[in-house]
């Protein structure tokens, strides 16, 4: 993909994320207590929103993945896709 002009690739699963540009950065989220999980709806979208925000703000890859993981974890703790997402300051 990078040969076709893609500069950064980000992959995300429930157990890890990969940020691939000139180097590869693997990141694992902090575990979420299964008893706190109400629904997986929106967790992937929350991760992506965190990444996009961090890219927009010129954060490092590490900071972006950190925010993405925390946003996804917050989303898991509510039934809807967005009600569990706290203000940005709580995710950082």
pLDDT band per the 50, 70, 90 thresholds, residue 51: very high
Predicted TM-score (pTM) of this structure: 0.89
Residue tagged 């540009």 (tokens):
21
Residue tagged 């706290």 (tokens):
86
Structural domain containing residue 77? 2-91
47 or 82: which leads in pLDDT? 47
| Rounded alpha-carbon distances, angstroms, from residue 75 to 1, 16, 51 | 30, 16, 14
Residue ranges with strand state E in the chain: 9-12, 17-20, 24-27
Domain count, the chain: 1
CATH number of the domain to which 31 belongs: 3.40.1190.20
pLDDT per position as a tens digit, 65-78: 999 999 999 999 99
Spatial distance between the Cα atoms of 91 and 89, rounded to a whole number of angstroms: 5
């Amino acid at each position: 993909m990078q040969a076709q002009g893609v500069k950064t690739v980000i992959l995300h699963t429930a157990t890890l994320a990969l940020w691939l540009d000139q180097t590869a950065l693997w990141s694992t989220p902090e575990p979420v207590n299964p008893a706190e999980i109400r629904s997986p709806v929106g967790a992937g979208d929350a991760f992506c929103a965190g990444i996009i925000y961090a890219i927009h703000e010129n954060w490092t890859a590490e900071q972006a993945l950190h925010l993405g993981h925390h946003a996804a974890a917050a989303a898991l703790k509510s039934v809807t896709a967005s009600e569990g997402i706290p203000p940005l300051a709580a995710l950082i």
